Chain A
């Protein structure tokens, strides 16, 4: 069972409070009438299913009711970061690969630092317990 850092509540909570909502960063065409049926079908129905780093949208359903995004490793179930709507992930399949090649851990302590974004983030500073 996941232990998820809600970037809005600012703390880790049990998975029971959350609900997954599928792939993150889907863009709804601004002018749906101008896209082809095929493009519209892609937007509606087609989703990535990567082995490894994946960005997912979750909602803190039984908490603050906010939607946010998670960068998760689909093979290890490690949550590498969580970040609010409107922000981009700092860890992607590409950066994780680079970090791996450089011998740097993708996230120090793995899920222990969930939410504590590696760089330039003021939103998710965790107070040490």
Chain B
């Protein structure tokens, strides 16, 4: 079998370049310029898939994105697998390997047809709906077979070898579609001076002109296309994007374009000899104006057995004949309700094939094309339609009958015409998808028999998308839209462009016909398919309306109409028309149709672009990160930061466990000296004459008297009185403060300060700036901290001179530094801030001097244990947005008598926040010291209570303490402060119950002596 259906001449293919491809394991030849679909048709491959539900053989039906059947899985290797590729849109390349997505194990053999034969009762309309409603076990039984037999492709099991890109673009006018309307629109806009992007989903630009019979300015349509595209390509302000689908139209003229860069050449860019290039690219275009020139899709008619291979949309046949030199059969019957489709009969005859008859539903068609067909000797049967196709693997005949469309009945005797191909045309549906992506409802035009787009601000419509079909009018409409778009974008010097002359062609009116009446009632006639991809039939739609589904949206969900990868491009209007007929309503009364992005499927690669691997989410490193890596740190993610979690050592050739490392680090701090990289703490520089006043309003405590050189701990609430963040703020000078925040709260606290300043108190002179990255912060803490610091700093460290909660300016290791005597460990501590680029130098100097004190680096886990031993909270861990300062026992940090109604004050006087039985922060000490309670574990008072138990609170922080040699925890507990010494219970999911004693939150050094030494 070798391209038996290929014509000896014609088409836009390159017969000198033979390509070899494989479909379902068999090799075929094709030509450069073919699509996979045209090459399959050239080789006479009738059956390309099995249908989803009934497992019926299916052939190629259309020639573009509306193709419902020829959905293939592409890729020779596992890594290059691409599912859900429409053969009609895939350019053929040498070595292409494709297989059917449906039709396990083989589309030619009928293994799955038992499902099809049982079809009516096995999977009636509403099958999914009913199955999911029924016991789930039933679905499990069916699913295995259905998924396997009717899967829609599979994802690759190996990682994609290709790279993908995103490109942000701006333009004045984006023209979507490079058919006749798009080309004149782009030309008009570009000549007016606008920056234009012209994109088109096909392999080459020209749209319907590429298969047109018409003559423009005395030349063939394709010659005119070449001239215009060449002129546009020469213009610097024009970007041409062929092979680029506009897939989504989003708010404010934001359009996503999917450009296929190497997909038409080979499985991967490397296979195409273009290693390192992107496979496809997502353009994110912000356009001043959009011209939508997306044209129309021809609707097939709905008649019995209209899915048998050999039934095709009329226009698609013309495309295969004229663009690819392929005649997909020998003997054609054309059934139509309009003039335009007559071209297919002429094209077929010119290809040397036989036109058996044209069957026209209209009584007296008399347009120019009709006359041309009659003059060429082709039989025209009027007032009739193809009622039913004969054949199973391929059309063998057409059953034609006279019909009465008003009464929806057949009126004459059935005539059987022998043929192998039936072309049908039920008129044209404007491709309005992008115009409805932002929610605009399209409008039904009974005079045009189609939905046209509703008004979309910033979008202009040209040509077929608003049901302007005659070529001359389409060209003029494009020029108008392009000029208007350019003008709206600010280019009003638009020169009128001359639209090429086209020979006028008189047309007789199209009649409304969607489903062809059958001699039997719809429910008893052979299957009349509406949505080929989902196997939705006219009977199914009728059944849905009988079961009470009256809105098309409900009918769609009930029948799965329009749910496939083709999104009902061919079937939606027919389905609505059938529902409307059954309900005795008009189409707009049944509903409108709204489309969502994307217009055609987009690969995940293109959506993700370069945002994969380590670029998926940004990582932040401190200035000391490399040292941590070199010293074996395990890291923890805190926000985007990578923080050292702990520093395991090698002991006897083995790596310490986390438990051992943390215990060692904790003891080093409690007994010697440790050091923490605390650079990730948020730091905000606050300046201005009203800085102090501002702090007083934003913090719960008092700031009026904080002197330069002093530091204070502050609590920040939201206006609902709940703790939001905490940290220390230092007075650097009278009008200058340095605020610290939690690592995670750095950005949100800065925005919080800006919010209150800008929106409530703009009269305050105060300015905020983030300095988190400017300074590295190193915490040197432990009983030996002062001795170590004395070796590296010129600051007087005397405990009377440099008191707890003081800060001093000086040098550390020879570089300028601010040193703060604040402690998050309960030990003597110095927090050193140096310019970030000095950090490594200072850190290394500290280790050089610290060796004799066994200076020990510690990570966040040890930090957590040490702070929890002291009952110091972490906002966001021990609090959750429902905890007040009083719940935490921090009344000492609340200035109720401050003059200004600071943030959160009002809420703290509400009866609810004053309740005695609120959840309050307490310590928990497990009765068994070996137990470390689970964070999040619920607390109950009566361990014998039946489920549901009365839950009194939960554990917020829990660790093992090496100094206490016991587990310990912080928790919030209802009325906790009055429960000191009580025993509470923590039932676990494995059935065990832990016992714990309610204790003070400060587990170690309750007199706070150690930090003051």
Please list the residues of chain A having a beta carbon within 8 angstroms of any beta carbon in chain B. 1-3, 14, 21, 28-29, 31-33, 35, 37, 40, 43-44, 57, 59, 61, 65-67, 75-79, 85-86, 109-112, 128-129
Contacts and interface: CB of A to CB of B under 8 A. Distances in A.
A44 B252 contact: no
Contact of A67 (B719, B758, B905, B906): B758
A105 B250 CA distance: 22
B490 A128 contact: yes
Given A44-B720, A59-B754, A32 B762 contact: no
Contacts of A37: 910-911
A1 B248 CA distance: 11
Nearest to B438: A77
B952 interface: no
B288 A112 contact: yes
- Sorting the interface of chain B by its residue count into under 10, 10 to 19, 20 to 34 or 35 or more gives 20 to 34
A74 B855 CA distance: 60
23 contacts: A1-B250, A1-B251, A1-B254, A3-B253, A28-B760, A32-B905, A40-B906, A43-B719, A44-B719, A44-B720, A57-B759, A59-B755, A65-B751, A67-B758, A75-B439, A76-B439, A77-B252, A78-B457, A85-B758, A109-B458, A110-B458, A111-B458, A112-B458
Nearest to B254: A1
Given A75-B439, A85-B762, A112-B488, 4 more contacts: A21-B755, A35-B906, A111-B458, A112-B457
Nearest to A78: B457
A3 B758 contact: no
A35 B907 CA distance: 11
Given A32-B905, A109-B488, A111-B458, A3 B755 contact: no
A2 B751 contact: no
A14 B719 contact: no
B391 interface: no
Contacts of B911: 37
Nearest to A43: B719
Contact of A85 (B458, B759, B910): B759
Contacts of A40: 906-907, 910
B460 to A, nearest CB: 12
Interface in B880-911: 901, 905-907, 909-911
Contacts of B458: 109-112
B488 to A, nearest CB: 7
B56 interface: no
B527 interface: no
Interface of B: 250-254, 286, 288, 438-439, 457-458, 488, 490, 719-720, 751, 754-755, 758-760, 762, 901, 905-907, 909-911
B901 A3 contact: no
B755 A67 contact: yes
Contacts of A78: 457
B901 A31 contact: yes
Contacts of A86: 762
A7 B813 CA distance: 47
Given A111-B458, A128-B490, A67 B254 contact: no
Contacts of B760: 28
Contacts of A111: 252, 457-458
A129 B490 contact: yes
B386 to A, nearest CB: 45
Nearest to A40: B906
Contacts of A2: 251-252
B256 to A, nearest CB: 10
B640 to A, nearest CB: 14
A1 B490 CA distance: 23
A80 to B, nearest CB: 11
A45 B720 CA distance: 9
A3 B286 contact: yes
Given A21-B755, A67-B755, A33 B909 contact: yes
A77 B762 CA distance: 30
A26 to B, nearest CB: 9
Contacts of A14: 286
A126 B759 CA distance: 25
A14 B251 CA distance: 11
B434 to A, nearest CB: 15
Given A59-B755, A61-B751, A67-B758, A77 B488 contact: no
Given A44-B719, A77-B438, A110-B457, A66 B758 contact: yes
User: 7 nearest interchain CB pairs?
Assistant: A32-B906, A110-B457, A3-B252, A32-B901, A67-B758, A1-B254, A77-B251
Contacts of B488: 109, 112
A112 B758 CA distance: 27
